[in-house]
Amino acid sequence: MAISEKPRPLIQLLQTLRAERIRFILAGMSAANLQGVLAATIDVDIWIGLPSRQYMRVINICRKLGATLRSQNKVYLSDDTPVDFIYEISGLTTFDKEYSRSNQVSFHGLRIPVLPLERIIKSKKAAARDKDKLHIILIRQTLRVKRAAVRRLEPLKATTRRARRKG
């Protein structure tokens, strides 16, 4: 008989937000990491699709999961992972519009919405902190590499399509 491990606290949080029908988007550098940007980040930024006055719904979920409350928008999960809850992001449109544009990324068996890299750049430009300037460079480099890879694959895809039509 296999012993199933309890999911990591961040996975539990994301699963619980989904179960409670609280829409969210992973934002910031943790979202960039999931899309291939190689840069260290300390915290996880989660954009919550609720009005900020309803932040206690999210905080109560965190408390039930054993998190330590630092402020109305920052918790440390039971494994000390810092999580920042965001209710509005400078430089971007509304949560609903950004949610409809989000990428669905696989993360420990979950499909989670993440801000696309181009939108992360836009938010970081608006924040204009020193660390954001470096992050923008790293994200742009990753986008260039991804675009170059797609361009290299295009001739291969076209050749494969032609071969299928002939066969």
Global confidence as pTM:
0.85
Sign for the CA dihedral angle at 16, 57, 28, 94 comes to positive
Q: Tell me the HSE value of 137 on the side-chain side, using a 13 A CA sphere.
A: 4
Domain ranges of the chain: 9-166
pLDDT in tens, 73-112: 999 999 999 999 999 999 999 999 999 999 999 999 999 9
Listing DSSP states for 140-154 in one string gives HHHHHHHHHHHHHHH
All residues at 6 or more sequence positions from 149 whose CB lies less than 8 Å from its CB, including other chains: none
pLDDT greater than 50 at residue 1: no
pLDDT greater than 60 at residue 64: yes
Q: State the pairing for strand pair 110-114/44-48.
A: unpaired
CATH assignment, 9-166: 3.30.460.40
Coil vs helix vs strand at 68: strand
